[in-house]
């Protein structure tokens, strides 16, 4: 059964090693929400602060917040890419991710080779990864471009490939970070249709976005991040206990 539990999770990291760069410090403060501490010659950013929540089968969660609020950091922490300094995380279920363009891709390899690589990263065997190629060909509509190195792809083509692979099997947990910002309208509609199908399977879906319409349409819970702190809200801003 798919489940994600965060219990008092805090994540910190260093940005740079100088206390003298006041202008840069100010810019970092704007970008990160202001959770900055100076320890010796290091500047420490608190990206997630005492975050607790529980997601179970059937939850479709939209994460909202200003740029630098910690949305992408939260998704990557769920995925196990970042490890917190304190608190505990329990994550049960197979995870598929669609993050920044190019994440996990080998630019010198062909689209076909990357399908196999990404599929195996998701836990498929080599045989299983090869078996999803026809579905990827059909969904992406990239044709002969799949034979070319990914470094020759446009950002939209790259996102087509990444999204198609990530959703080629039904994951128990699907994490998406603003993926609808890239691609033509026709492809966006295909993505939305597939996302709707995945949500209907009642596994966990977590989606970071600034698009309120998408949040309203596809999510049944909303988390707002501000200065690294998380609260559950309705679209009208009403708070809920998590």
Domain ranges in the chain are 3-240
Residues 35, 65: contact at Cβ < 8 Å?
Answer: no
Looking at every residue in the chain, the average pLDDT score rounds to 83
How close are the terminal C-alpha atoms of the chain, in Å? Answer: 20
When computed from its CA atoms, the radius of gyration of the chain, rounded to whole angstroms, is 19
- The model carries a pTM of 0.77
Measure the CA–CA gap between 236 and 242, rounded to whole angstroms.
Answer: 17
> What secondary structure letter does DSSP report for 151?
G
Residues 6+ away with beta carbon under 8 Å from 29: 36
Q: What is the pLDDT of residue 84?
A: 94
Please count the other Cβ atoms lying within 10 Å of the Cβ belonging to residue 194: 16
Measure the CA–CA gap between 188 and 186, rounded to whole angstroms.
Answer: 5
Q: How confident is the model at residue 223 (pLDDT cuts 50, 70, 90)?
A: very high
Least reliable range by pLDDT among 32-41, 65-74, 129-138: 32-41
Q: What is the pLDDT of residue 196?
A: 82
- β-pair partners for 90: 5
113-166 pLDDT per residue, tens: 999 999 988 888 999 999 999 999 999 999 999 999 999 999 889 989 988 998
> Across the chain, how many H-helices and E-strands are there?
8, 11
Residues 6+ away with beta carbon under 8 Å from 219: 60, 61, 62, 205, 207
Q: What is the pLDDT of residue 134?
A: 97
Query: What are the structure tokens assigned to 58, written together?
Result: 């059937």
Highest CATH level, class, for 3-240: alpha beta
């Amino acid at each position: 059964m798919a489940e994600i539990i965060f219990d008092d999770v805090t994540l910190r990291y260093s940005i740079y090693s100088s206390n003298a760069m006041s202008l840069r410090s100010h810019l970092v403060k704007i970008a990160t929400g202001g959770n900055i501490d100076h320890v010796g010659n290091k500047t420490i950013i608190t990206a997630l602060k005492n975050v607790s929540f529980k997601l179970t089968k059937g939850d479709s969660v939209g994460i909202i917040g200003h740029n630098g609020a910690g949305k992408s950091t939260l998704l990557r922490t769920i995925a196990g890419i970042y490890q917190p300094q304190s608190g505990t995380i329990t994550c049960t279920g197979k995870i598929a991710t669609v993050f920044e363009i190019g994440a996990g891709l080998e630019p010198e390899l062909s689209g076909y080779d990357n399908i196999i690589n990404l599929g195996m990263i998701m836990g498929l065997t080599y045989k299983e990864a090869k078996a999803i190629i026809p579905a990827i060909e059909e969904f992406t509509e990239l044709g002969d471009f799949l034979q070319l190195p990914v470094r020759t792809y446009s950002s939209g083509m790259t996102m087509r490939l990444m999204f198609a692979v990530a959703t080629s099997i039904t994951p128990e947990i699907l994490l998406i970070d603003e993926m609808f910002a890239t691609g033509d309208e026709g492809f966006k509609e295909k993505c939305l249709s597939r996302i709707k199908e995945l949500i209907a399977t009642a596994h966990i879906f977590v989606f970071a976005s600034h698009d309120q319409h998408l949040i309203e349409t596809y999510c049944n819970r909303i988390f707002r991040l501000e200065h690294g702190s998380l609260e559950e809200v309705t679209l009208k801003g009403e708070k809920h206990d998590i």
